[in-house]
Chains A and B, each alone.
Chain A
């Protein structure tokens, strides 16, 4: 619709030009004031400025891809969480909370915290000591080139698709909230991300992620605060939900407890059993994502010491535990406070229902967060809230393209195309790979427009690639006997198993009773059990194949495998700076949250 015009607007950050475009746009939920537009424009100017400022500090490959390994624990930890705070976090899970209740918080607590703490305390020493540049790089050191190539290609594929999902989701929000054209939003955001990551590399991505993290909280925290004031606090919210269910206004279900309805697939709206949550989400998907997805691991690898690298995920875990207050809580509040113009309770519906009833004035689950912003935020604050959404989308996208750039350069281009180039050459390849990643992501964004649902799509991708990778990394890191052939075949067959199981259910839906153990299982449950199957197959194949092969000498495994690595001794520090102290505090908080919302 707007062609290339928005690109110049992104570069100049001109509020008047943006306002002129808004005047041309479609009807929307909100109308931005000049103050809101100024807030958004200042954000874009700031992120581009940071990219230009840091360009001079991204001259070597170590600086461009690893941020010089100079990040403190706090910076690495905030960036670690922020890179994950993409569009799906902010918008999709708020919608899931509206639809499924507080069950959605499982993805933040049992589906994240144990894995983050395990990464920091158990796995990080091996990643850090072996000085790898990437997770496929670790697999190359442990299992050889073949396994690394499989992991690198699957990661690169998944990463640009994820980036496309982020872009599409952001464009959808901008369309719904502001009436912006999809193409306009996709091009503006992708140009901004391409500019600051290509200029400043990982350091620029990390700087911006920390900035975006602060903005996300500054812009989104006001919604649950005002929402709780309106409903009379948590107890008032629970009472209102119970009243709405009793009067038939809201669909029956337990919206405010996390574990009570997990006894059977049919007892909860997600159609999942507690074993799926604990073993599928809490282990196969969560550990796969948080411990082997290079998008997040890359941030921790940039830490300035082993202690910082271990502390970063622990620090990140506290913020991750808090994210439901700005994502899940607004979704729950939406259940009782959102109203139609006639004063009746608003009912959000699925994307397919909205699409089937054009002109009916319906809103989808994914729109709950923008609707809540519009409800409470006056000029300036609305701009801040919109900026928080944009910041979330851009941090997720920047995380994907910076990780793609590193994996493309180190794990695909260097071993397969140009093995012995100068360091400057690889930096140049990294910059171009960033731009290439953005271009492919844009293509993926348009592909995603035809997908059934954003969350289903992403969960399916996770189980395809991330879970078998977890099996390979865990076996490589904790079993000295694992061989090169075992790693390669385990990863390949585990990945193919996941894809085959997905295709089986697509072709024959009755296969769900085998893949997800119950015919009552729903999409999310299927994803979790498929992840569990694929990681299991990967581990079994590695085990069996390795038994028939010859293990590497112990001396070659130093820095790579538990029991064969002598870790550096860290200097003693006061208890409040010790990672084990904060580990215990994090575990206590995690248990307390689950018990309180049991």
Chain B
């Protein structure tokens, strides 16, 4: 977003990557152990696909706007 320094999109990418990895990891743990949280529609395993989506978006933005990369 500016000519020098770190882009805001990089910060967003980093945060989404961290959150995505944490939530996706928890989702995999649920799948592996069969211990699902006491919430409605737990059978849909939202942490897996929502966390996975966040992780993918985070990695895309983190790499696409990493410091030192043009464009």
Measuring CB to CB, which residues of chain A are less than 8 angstroms from any residue of chain B?
A: 35, 38-39, 42-43, 46, 50, 53, 57, 68, 70-72, 75, 207, 210-211, 214-215, 218, 222, 226, 229-230, 337, 374-381, 384
Contacts and interface: CB of A to CB of B under 8 A. Distances in A.
A377 B50 CA distance: 11
B60 to A, nearest CB: 13
9 contacts: A39-B22, A46-B14, A53-B5, A57-B2, A57-B5, A70-B1, A71-B1, A215-B15, A218-B54
A46 B13 CA distance: 12
Contacts of B26: 35, 378-380
Interface in B1-34: 1-3, 5-6, 8, 11-12, 14-16, 18-19, 22-23, 26-27, 30
A43 B15 CA distance: 8
B6 A53 contact: yes
A75 B50 contact: no
A326 to B, nearest CB: 14
Contacts of A376: 39-41, 46
B54 to A, nearest CB: 6
A408 B33 CA distance: 57
Contact of B47 (A38, A46, A230, A378): A378
A50 B19 CA distance: 17
Given A72-B1, A218-B16, A376-B46, A226 B11 contact: no
B40 A375 contact: yes
A72 B42 CA distance: 41
A183 to B, nearest CB: 28
Interface of B: 1-3, 5-6, 8, 11-12, 14-16, 18-19, 22-23, 26-27, 30, 36-37, 39-42, 44, 46-47, 50-51, 54
A226 B37 contact: no
Contact of B51 (A57, A70, A229, A380): A380
B18 A42 contact: yes
B11 to A, nearest CB: 6
B42 A384 contact: no
Contact of A211 (B11, B22, B44, B46): B11
A378 B54 contact: no
Contacts of A230: 40-41
B30 A378 contact: yes
Contacts of A215: 15
B36 A378 contact: yes
A42 B39 contact: no
Contacts of B19: 39, 42, 218, 380, 384
B47 A211 contact: no
Contacts of B6: 53
Given A38-B22, A378-B26, A381-B23, A226 B1 contact: no
Nearest to B3: A70
Nearest to B24: A380
